[in-house]
Amino acid sequence: MILSINFGHDASLALFDKKLVQFEELERKSRLKHQLGVTSYEIERFLKNQDLKLENISLVTICSTQLWAMPHTNDIEIHLNNLPKKLEKYFPDYNYTRRGFSGINIGGSYYKNHLKKLNITKGTPSYAFKELNFKYIRDLNPPEKDFIKYFNNLISLDLGTIKKNQLEFFIPGIIKIKNFSFPTLYVEHHFCHANYALYYSPNINSLVCTHDGGLPQAPFNSGGVYLTNKYGVLPIVDHRMFLGYIYDKIADFTNVHEPGKLMGLASYAIPNRDIKNILNKIIIEMKESLQINEALDNFVSDIIEISLKEKNIIKDLKNKFIFSEKITDEGIQAAANAQFIVENFFINNIGAFVSKIEGLEKSFNTLNLTGGFALNCPTNSALSKKYKNLFINPLPACGDSGISIGAGVAAMFAFDHEIERDKNKNLSAAFPPLKIDTKFSNEDYEIFDLTKYEYNGKIEEFLAEMLIKEKILCLFRGRSEVGPRALGRRSIIAIATSEKIRDKINKAKGRELWRPLAPICRMEDYNDHFDGDALNSQFMLFTNKVKNSVLQGVTHVDNTARVQSITEQDFWIYNCLSIMKIKKEVPVIINTSFNCAGEPIVESIQDAFRSFSKMNFDYLVTDNGIFTKRSVK
């Protein structure tokens, strides 16, 4: 048994026995959004769900946020660069002196609050890798002749060399959890992202691009492009991008702070005419140095300065909503400029690079996207439209919650453990194994002044009937989806034709009214309402144009929507939409995550009772019955 732990933000646990047998995003239990740090109690509880104890574990893989400490309780000890006997055969020439530098950052006041609530007072430094001994490309635009030679050498490497190269991304050590000691492997952050993608890639021969807010202060620290095959993950290029960092800084300038909100805000302005000059400066700078901290801050300053000089706000769109006083026209302009830069740079550089690989070897036509930047839906869509020769495949746990899965997968490939890849059949990437306790008592819902609602028909008939009556419903069923996108298991749903209902949902959730809500539709109805490919839209990681003016509740001001397309596998909602279509209603509904502002998606039935009561919607529909407020008849 391999236990894998992500101690960084979006902390998570994964358990492997040939395949992934258990996975948990710890924020869902603690209710601390983007939880940082892990406790021994959480580890023991996680194992208990599989009727296991610590003594059943043979190896522990660990990972964290780049250059952040690994916070944990005092009864956990981590000693890296300490080679246990069980791992000696894999590291015969291990160099204890060349490994990189440590990180001790714990993420500011927001995360300090997490550590206080979790009673965590200790943090073990993480590592970045100053040097790597194998050859890799250090530029997204290498000379054609050199690139062809490198790629041909890469795909002809012998297994021994591949394993040796993979081991460059590991640091061996010992971890003690309570009274038990285990051999451990610290796995480099983006190597984890890439291996997570490999585990769920529909094709064993594929490409992976990882990127997030990390800085290129060390090789692959902000991400890279990788090749996957039957031997695991092989790094190709350290792309040295810093688009996520720019996005984070502009999000702070606009006062939305959360980068995910910047995409919606960008739609209210047209990018400045001179923004291409900054884009060109970035392209030049990226080729020159890894040490670019000062240059990065200058780029951010340039974006802000140009946004202050000229504002191309689309007033007709902005005037539809009341914006917070903190969100200025300059901030909206900066959002539009930042989105233009990151989107165009990523498409024109990453797209061109991986397309070049596909041109040399047609079997590598799947590009898996992971790392937090893969949540930039407009970029994913634009990339897919421009490079039609590639299958663009962003994954649902592309944020850091998925790296615990990747760390375990990386170890199994590198150390020749038997592994059964998942391949993401039946949307399994969004619903990895996890035992959910859905037990509750009458007292659980009576506390929140709820009562059971009796309905004699089928659930899908109830959903359709209430949606047509313009009711707002909360869904709680099965295990929860991973990542930030609700996919019908923990969703708030309503008809998609009403702006009034959209605004009511946003107000109740504590969301800004200018932010869009997403739609769900059946795959066979997708092209009646949206452009693009329905198959790409199963995880809500693409934006596509809306074809008509009917869907007012889910159409953003730029006439796009972040669609979830579903099949009969999602029988509740699929059958509900089928009934609506038979009744001549538009078979598209609103879908947004079931949670209040500032909290994770609900996990337990008790969480559902609490949040449903607080938001005061019409019905809570669960596997164990329908609930409503006592005052509703």
Q: Is the predicted pLDDT of residue 293 greater than 80, yes or no?
A: no
Q: How far is residue 20's CA from residue 347's CA, in Å, rounded to a whole number?
A: 33
In a domain, 235, yes or no: no
In a domain, 555, yes or no: yes
* Model confidence pLDDT, tens digit, residues 200-242: 999 999 999 999 998 888 889 999 999 999 999 999 999 989 8
Q: Is the predicted pLDDT of residue 290 greater than 50, yes or no?
A: no
Residue 396 makes CB contacts below 8 A (sequence gap 6+) with: 429, 430, 481, 482, 483, 485, 487, 539, 541
Q: Are strands 76-80 and 170-177 parallel, antiparallel or unpaired?
A: antiparallel
Q: Which two tokens stand for residue 175?
A: 């971890």
Q: What is the pLDDT of residue 632?
A: 59
Whether 34 and 182 map to the same domain: the answer is yes
| Domain of residue 81, residue span | 2-134+161-196+397-427
In a domain, 270, yes or no: no
3-state per-residue secondary structure call for 362-382: CCCCEEEEECHHHHCHHHHHH
Q: What is the pLDDT of residue 435?
A: 83
Question: What would you measure as the largest C-alpha separation in the chain, in angstroms?
Answer: 74
Whether 418 and 476 map to the same domain: the answer is no
Let me know: does 590 contact 553? Beta carbons within 8 Å: yes
Whether 413 and 531 map to the same domain: the answer is no
Q: How far is residue 345's CA from residue 291's CA, in Å, rounded to a whole number?
A: 19
CATH number of the domain residue 590 falls in: 3.90.870.20
* Model confidence pLDDT, tens digit, residues 447-464: 999 999 999 999 999 999
SS3 label, residue 22 = strand
Q: How far is residue 75's CA from residue 574's CA, in Å, rounded to a whole number?
A: 48
Q: Is the predicted pLDDT of residue 279 greater than 90, yes or no?
A: no
Rounded mean pLDDT of 493-518? Answer: 96
Residue 577 makes CB contacts below 8 A (sequence gap 6+) with: 464, 520, 521, 522, 525, 566, 587, 588, 589
Other Cβ atoms closer than 10 A to 310 = 12
The chain-wide mean pLDDT, for the chain, equals 92
Angstrom distances, CA of residue 182 to CA of 56, 88, 175, 392: 11, 14, 5, 39
Residue 104 main-chain phi, psi, to 5 deg = -125, 0
In a domain, 511, yes or no: yes
Whether 469 and 617 map to the same domain: the answer is yes
In a domain, 357, yes or no: no
Q: What is the pLDDT of residue 84?
A: 92
Whether 460 and 409 map to the same domain: the answer is no
* Model confidence pLDDT, tens digit, residues 508-532: 999 999 999 999 999 999 999 999 8
Q: How far is residue 52's CA from residue 33's CA, in Å, rounded to a whole number?
A: 27
Q: Compute the Cα dihedral for 191, 26, 183, 421 and give only its sign.
A: negative
Whether 580 and 608 map to the same domain: the answer is yes
Whether 12 and 44 map to the same domain: the answer is yes
For the chain, what is the domain count? 2
Whether 117 and 65 map to the same domain: the answer is yes
